[in-house]
Structure 1
Amino acid sequence: MKEYHLIITDLILFVLIYFISQAISMIFPGGIKESTTKKGNVRLVESQKSFKHVMVSIYVLSISIVFLSAEYILEQIVGGANLSKYIKEFFICDELYIDGWIIFWFFALCVYFSEYLIRSIYHKREKTFPISRLLMTIIRSVFFYIAIMWILHFVLKWSPTHMVVSTTVILAIGGYSLKSVTNDLFAGVFLHMSRSLLPSDWVSFPTKNIEGEVLSTNWRETRVRTSGGHIYILPNSFITAQVFHNLSWPNTKRRHNLYFTVNYKSSPDDVEKALLKSAYDQPEILKEPKPPKVMIKEFIEYGIKYNLEFWSDTYYSRSSLEGKVNRLAWEEFQRLDIKLPRVLWVYMGTNNK
């Protein structure tokens, strides 16, 4: 009974160290909010989270050394005879547990630091990290599971066979009882293995009228932020069952089509000149892969319908860009005396009394 009491005391101490480390990490490097991230900075958020994991590991190791040295420090200050036996029991840990705890967090520090280093390299090169957060979490979990098994067997001298069997049974029962959650997990894994959807991608779900930037993905859900600042939380199983458009594939260049209807008295050459000038005056509009061009779309009853076609790599803010082009087009129409058609709707009928 006494042995179990000491194990619980050691466990409380280790948990306390971990939570203190987490609290300090909220001060430095501080909290990270995906919802306030600016467009295109999702990659930076992932690097910041990796750095936070690194700092938590460093805090755990540092605080562990301080706590485990507390008994010696208190003896020097107060005197060994004056120390309560409860204080001694709280700060005195089994050497095997201490070794296992330190080894695990040193291993975690190496894993997190390696991930942070690689993510930083990709971020500086303005490239998306090839492994999604979900897959990275699974990979880390596998590494940590192997590390725990190794510590149990070689450090604590426990037989990991029982723990492997117990883990298998727990996973089987949990997988059956949480079938929907398991579906989301595997859907997310397959989704990210195919690299169909990654953080910072701009995606559109036509059937649900949702379009926005992918903020993050985890074992259950994907978060998408629209241009209006709304955040949609979509289950991974929902995404894999939908037809969606990744507007970041193969690059961010997209074509815009604006339609203008003018009366038959206006010369097509003047209309083309006005529309092209309104497009070329916008620095966001690309000259490649194709320069802006104007085409006659169709002849309708009250005028000629023109199509202004141009390309940009800021499709996510197309409303603002297209609004600027429309405004400049109107100014050019006024300057060249190009008239827009006036449509009069006349309703005719009989007045039955």
Structure 2
Amino acid sequence: MNNLSSPQVAVYLEIFLLFLAFVTALILYFLVRIVVLKSLISRGKYAGTFLFRLNLPIVFLLVTLVLKIKSIRDALFPSQKFNLYLDAALIFFFVFFLVRLIDAFLQGWYTKRSLSFPLPRVLHGLILAVIYLFILFIILNGILGISITPFLATSALLTMILGLAFQGVLSNILSGMSLHFTKSFNKGDWIQVGSNEGVVIDTNWRETRIKDRYSNIIVIPNNTIASEKITNFSYPDNKSALTIPVKASYSAPPSAVLEALYEAAASVPEVLSSPKPEAYVLSYDDFGISYLLKFWITDFDRKHPIKGEVGKLIWYKFKRRNIEIPVPLSDKLGTVLKSFKEKGGVPVFDEDKERNFEDLIKSTFFRYKSGNRDGELIVTEDEIREFDS
């Protein structure tokens, strides 16, 4: 077996030393990361967040500068080829540092003013990746003289393969970008997507997470959100209108009912005084007049407790004004049947009971005459039979 020549040994040695330098840079990166997390970020220091973003380029840039020191370079990497690689690495990590520095300043500016960054995380990361890849191609072609045409051809083929393999993932990414570009919602907004309602706690390249009223975390893929109807209760402002339908008897003057509804809403502190609560007459129905109370709130998280408080006060306001709330027809008929039963009912001969029961079943007296339940029995057959007996 032929022994390796001295130039080959030197090349392998330089590759090994470069690998050691890379590992050393990674170890320093994680050590600095731990120190920054424990000593600065955990205490809420802005400098910690700033250094955290610059940690990676600074460490690799410093390691490259150390390797560029003449005495170290001549001792470890005597060949001119590896010196060229060090020059390329130095330029790349320096530009990498400048890009991260500008990015850290921009994010810090928004953080200090308690503003959300205008770009979503997925788009922000994609833009940085494209910039780094563009810089790498320039260095490979301009400094090292490596043709990037094979890389571009391979990238196109790889993109096609990955596109076919990750259609669902790419669909979520594109849908997430579309949602953020159109500003459909932001973190902290109360939204409804299909049948799911909650506050947005996080959104990323694949999914959006909302927390519903039962403190459950609902994870919805972005492509599902993009295809559903979205209701944003926090846009354009945090004022949301709630409505309560109410029915009152014909004996109550509409003006008195509307006044009672308005007072009930205005008596709840969490109901906004501007815009003022509103009440309307909706329709004249068979057993009463239908009204609608509309009012606005800002704390949509307490939607149901506020509606419950207003509904409770409506009952008290009606009672004080002797306004009757019509009971359902089925309840009234149940009361009538109960009174007949308590009084012994109407005496009927046994042979006529079954015929009377069949006539009652076929008649329209015990059936709804309008609405979605038109023609259905208001009470059960057993109750009709008791009435017949």
Structure whose alpha-carbon radius of gyration is higher: 2
Deviation at 1:338, TM superposition (A): 3.6
2:180 — aligned with what?
192
Q: Secondary structure at the match of 1:350?
A: helix
AA aligned opposite 1:114? L
Unaligned runs of 5+ in 2: 1-11, 68-82, 335-378
| Residues 270-309 of structure 1 aligned to structure 2 (within 5 Å) | 270-288=256-274, 290-309=275-294
- The aligned residue for residue 51 of structure 2 is 55
Alignment of 1:29 onto 2:41:
yes
- Alignment size in residue pairs: 309
Q: How far apart are residue 243 of structure 1 and its match?
A: 2.3
**Tell me, what secondary structure is at the counterpart of 1:4?**
helix
Decide which moves more: 240-249 or 261-270.
Answer: 261-270
Specify whether residues 62 and 139 from structure 1 end up closer, same or farther in structure 2 by C-alpha distance, changes over 3 A only. Answer: closer
What secondary structure sits across from 2:385 in the alignment? coil
1:189–1:63 Cα change, 3 Å = closer
Match of 1:3 among 2, 14, 28: 14
Partner of 1:349, secondary structure, is helix
2:347 matched to which residue of 1? none
- TM-score, normalization: structure 1? 0.71
Q: How many angstroms does 1:118 deviate by?
A: 3.5
User: 2:106 aligned with 1:110, yes or no?
Assistant: no
Q: Find 1:204's aligned residue among 192, 202, 209.
A: 192
Counterpart check, 1:239 vs 2:225: yes
Cα offset for 1:102? 5.3
Within 5 Å, which residues of 2 pair with 1:15-26?
15-26=26-37
SS in 1 for 2:315: helix
- Give matches, 1:75-86, under 5 Å: none
For residues 271-350 of structure 1, the aligned pairs below 5 Å read 271-288=257-274, 290-343=275-328, 344=331, 345-346=333-334, 347=379, 348-350=383-385
The DSSP-based 3-state class of the residue aligned with 1:286 is coil
Question: CA distance change for structure 1 residues 192 and 59 in 2, over 3 Å: closer, same or farther?
Answer: closer
CA deviation string 1:142-166 (max 9, x = no partner): 23333444555677x4637255554
Structure-2-length-normalised TM-score = 0.65
1:303-332 per-position Cα deviation (integer Å, ceiling 9, x unaligned): 433211122333443212212212332333
1:210 to partner: Cα distance: 0.4
Question: CA RMSD, aligned part only?
Answer: 3.8
Question: Secondary structure at 1:198's aligned position in 2?
Answer: coil
Provide the C-alpha distance between the structure 2 equivalents of 1:151 and 1:106, rounded to a whole number of angstroms: 16
Cα 1:64/1:183, change in 2 over 3 Å: closer
**SS of structure 2 residue aligned to 1:203:** strand
